[in-house]
Amino acid sequence: MAVLYRDDLYSILYTEEQIAERVAELGRQISADYEGKSIVLVGVLNGAVVFLSDLMRQITIPVAMDLVAISSYGSYSSTSGVVRIMKDLDESVESRHVLIVEDIVDTGLTLNYLVESMRSRNPASVKVVAMLSKPSRHRVTVHVDYLGFTVPDEFVVGYGLDFAQRYRNLPCIGVLKPEIYAGSDTPPGL
């Protein structure tokens, strides 16, 4: 693993190899479930881009790709639940199979909003694949059809996930040392 930022991690939860193995499994499962169909992968910017780019290369059925950007009001630890689409899809998903690709499901508010938003566009179906989920932080019932890993209630970075826009390029997923964000307003609900 590249040593970049490694010292800022308290622990490594999933290595590059473990992630690659799990993403390949998810790709196989998705390809089997949608056999004979094509899907639109809807990636959520910015966190899901690393997962999206790896996952799509493990899927063997035809895929199209589109991206949305979401903003939620309030700080990380006190999300208001009000969510807004900052960048919408480029193409219509009417009558198409939509698979939302999310980095991490925390409170679940972003995902719930996005699922409802996609459903309102008359797609053939809407499903969700998320790399990570923090079940203990969920504030609403969220249904994730395909999940990479569950993580504890800690602030995690790497594999697309950031703190203040850093660490996205870490190939592993790890827990950020609390002293890194001490005094910061951004994360987390610890």
For the question of residue 106 being annotated catalytic, the response is: yes
Helix and strand totals (H; E) in the chain: 4, 9
Work out whether 118 is an interface residue with ligand IMP (CB under 6 A): no
Verify binding: residue 161, ligand IMP, rule CB under 6 A. yes
Binding mask 72-101 for ligand IMP (x = CB under 6 A): x------x----------------------
CA distances, 115 to each of 8, 69, 101, 162 (Å): 34, 14, 11, 23
Closest CB to ligand IMP among residues 27, 108: 108
DSSP-based three-state secondary structure for 77:
helix
**Separation between Cα atoms, residue 43 and residue 69, nearest integer Å:** 9
Candidates 41, 110, 117, 181; binder of ligand IMP (CB under 6 A) is 110
The one among 34, 51, 155, 159 contacting ligand IMP by CB under 6 A: 155
Give the residue with the Cβ less far from ligand IMP, 33 or 154. 154
Contacts (Cβ under 8 Å, ≥6 apart) of 5: 166, 167, 170
Residue of 33, 88, 90, 106 marked catalytic: 106
Cβ atoms of 9 and 175 within 8 Å: the answer is: yes
Cβ atoms within 10 Å, residue 20: 14
Does 103 bind ligand IMP (CB under 6 A)? Our answer is yes
Which spans of this chain sit near ligand IMP (rule: CB under 6 A)? 47, 72, 79, 103-111, 155-157, 161
Give me the active site residues, please. Answer: 106
